[in-house]
Structures are given as structure tokens and as C-alpha cells.
Structure 1
């Protein structure tokens, strides 16, 4: 029963709109499936880091420093803002058909795609709060093998992330092929960019969590 509850929470966390959603959505529509898969791989690896930091208590130690929390929060906000501006600039650059074709040829390499997915997930406050508040409640720390139990739960979360975003990539790519027009593509980049900027502002306004309530 507890495992089912955990899977449901993971699923709700993953499908709720956030920076990852718009990152995958815009990449799958604008750049391509290969680059999107590397970004999803980055999301998965960063998820393991979040989980392991929580499992070994390091996240809670870091959270005790208000200055460190504010610094990490601002770095995350600036990175999301940078991604938002980047998508808007890409949309603005697609002024004609020739530009549209050239931009499609300028594909992001695999390492950069991985890094974008990795950093977006690593600096995602929604994921940080999940591993600080919800995740420890499903670990039986009194058991000798609680580390293995924790890794299993992290893996379940990672599988949910990969499955959902791969499914999204396949459907978005098909949809984008049907509506493959300059106007649609530019609107998509603008919306994705504005949403990422919006999430960066929300992150800046996020208060410092009270450790006693975690």
C-alpha cells in the first residue's frame, strides 16, 4: 500500500507542469527526438543525485544554512531565466523559411542536451522539496538495508520520469510533424520561454523552508 502511494505521488509530481515539462516539450518539437532523449537522461541522473543526497542526510545539512539555500535558489532561478530567454531568442531567430531550415540543422550536441536536462532537474525546487519532505517518510531507517530500499524508491521515481517524458516526446514529435509550420514553431518557443521565466520568478520568491516542518 505504501509503495502504491509512493508511485502515485511520483506520478503526480512528474506530470504536473514545471520546468522539465517545457524543456522536453520545446526540445521534442523544435530540435529532435535524439536530443530530447539525452535531456531525459540528464533528468534521470539528477534525480538519483537528489535521492542519494536525501538518503544520506546531506540535503538536510545543506538546508540548515540559509545563505547556502538562498545561493542555490538564485542559481536555479538564473538558470531557468537563461533557458527562457534562450528559447525566446530561438523563436525570434526563425524569421523565414530559410532560417527555419538552418536552425533545424544546428542541433544541440548530446553533451549539451544532457547538461540542460541535468541542471534543470538538479535545480528544480519541486524535486528538492519532494526529497526533503516526502521521500524520507517512505524509508524505514531502522532497517539495516534501508539504503537499498532508498535506491529502489529513487529508481522507481526515475523510471516514472523516463517513461512519462519519453511518451511525451513520441506524441509531441508526431503532433509537431502534422503542424510543422513556422508560426506554430515560433509560438511554441515563445510560450516555453515565458513559462521558464515565470518559473524562475516563482523560485526567487520561494521562502526558506522551516526544518521543523520537513
Structure 2
């Protein structure tokens, strides 16, 4: 039904996206380091729910909606780019802190953690673009059920994203402890992540699709 090359292609794109800094990663790391591993796992469950929403919506005609109202995708893209620029500024500004800096945060109840994870993912421009313009390119009209292909490829992306994010949640505390003992490494990580966020924002802002 789905070619192996399509599965590998979606897995590669999904891996590249989940490894690049963005709202999902920053939220999961901040909750895992600030409130503990359990809070990170609940937040990850919300992120997973957001992926499922996109999976269902995309296969029920989200791409058709954006095709009918192309300005809507532009609004999401520009808003997402501005959000990434804001995250980059928060990271790079004088006095900014690394996402891996251990700090006290007000504990949120599980329901709020889940909802925040869900909303962070739903408002993530990278995920919207992934499901609207990238994954559909791997669907082959000559290989049968298009809906089933879309669901399978979406599930591949979700599996890759959740495995990587789970690793981040489980390792966040250890990474934070490692970096806190090495201030120069912490500054380097902050500069690197902030710079990547800024580059992603500019690329997204000037993207044609």
C-alpha cells in the first residue's frame, strides 16, 4: 500500500523536524526540568494528542481548506515565524537563560499540563506545514487508498516524534544537571539554540509554501 521509500522519507523529515529546536521541545524540556519527569510525560501526552488532531484533520480535508483559503496558511506561517523569533530573543537576550537551566516553576496540575502540551503542538507552525504540504507529497495516487496512505505516513511521523520527545523528557533532568555544572557549556547551548530558532524563523517567514 505504502512504498518503503515513502515511509523512510517521512521518517527522515519527521526526525529532522523533531530534532530542530521549537515550541514543543522547549515546553517539554522546561516542564521536565522545572516540575519533574512525570510532568514532562503528561505534557508529552498532550503533544501526542495534538499530533492526532492534525492527523485526523489533514486526512479529512485540512489541505483542501488551506487550498480554498491560502491566506490562512500564510497567517499561520507568519505568526509561527514571529513566535519563533520571540523564543529566539528570549534565549539570546542579555540575561536570557537556557531551556536546560534548572529553575523553580509553579507546579501545574496534570490537566493543565496536558492542555498546554496539546495547545503548544496545535499552534506549532512546523507541524501545520508538515501535515499540509510535506507528508501529502509522499502519497502515491497510483497505490490505492489515499486516506489509508495518509494515516499510515502520519503514524510514522508521530511514532518518530514521540520516541525522540520521550528521550528528551527522560534525559532533560540529567542534561540540565550536567550543564549547570559547566556554565560555559550552558551559554554555548543557549547561543546555539537561540541562533537555530532565529534561522528557522527567518526561513519560515520567507518560505514560499
TM-score by length of 1: 0.68
1:62 aligned partner:
66
Counterpart of 1:125 (choices 116, 129, 134) is 129
Matches of 1:114 and 1:61, distance apart in 2: 22
Kept in 1, the 8 Å contact 2:90–2:96? The answer is no
Q: Residue 106 of structure 1 aligns to a residue in which SS?
A: coil
Cα deviation 1:122-148 (Å, max 9, x = unaligned): 65534432233224659733xxxx656
- Secondary structure of 1:22's match? coil
**8 A Cα contact 1:22 1:195, kept in partner:** yes
Shift of 1:38: 4.6
Q: When the two structures are aligned, how many residues end up with a matched partner?
A: 196
**Post-superposition CA distance 1:89-148 (Å, at most 9, x none):** 5x8245xxxxx6xx611267424344334422665534432233224659733xxxx656
Residue 58 of structure 1 aligns to a residue whose secondary structure is: helix
Aligned position for 2:84 = 80
1:97 is aligned to none
Aligned to 1:212: none
- Name stretches of at least 5 consecutive residues in structure 2 with no aligned partner: none
Does the 8 Å contact 1:42/1:114 carry over to 2?
A: yes
Root-mean-square deviation (CA, aligned residues, Å) is: 3.6
CA contact (8 A) 2:27 2:117 kept: no
Query: Once the 2 structures are TM-superposed, how far is the Cα of residue 31 of structure 1 from its aligned partner?
Result: 5.0
CA contact (8 A) 1:14 1:164 kept: no
**Cross-structure match for 2:104:** 105
Unmatched runs of 5 consecutive residues or more in structure 1: 95-99, 209-214
Q: CA deviation at 1:198?
A: 1.5
Q: TM-score, normalised by structure 2?
A: 0.70
CA change 1:14–1:31 in 2 (3 A) is: same
- Give the match for residue 156 of structure 2: 156
User: Which residue of structure 2 lines up, in the alignment, with residue 45 of structure 1?
Assistant: 49
SS at match of 1:198: helix
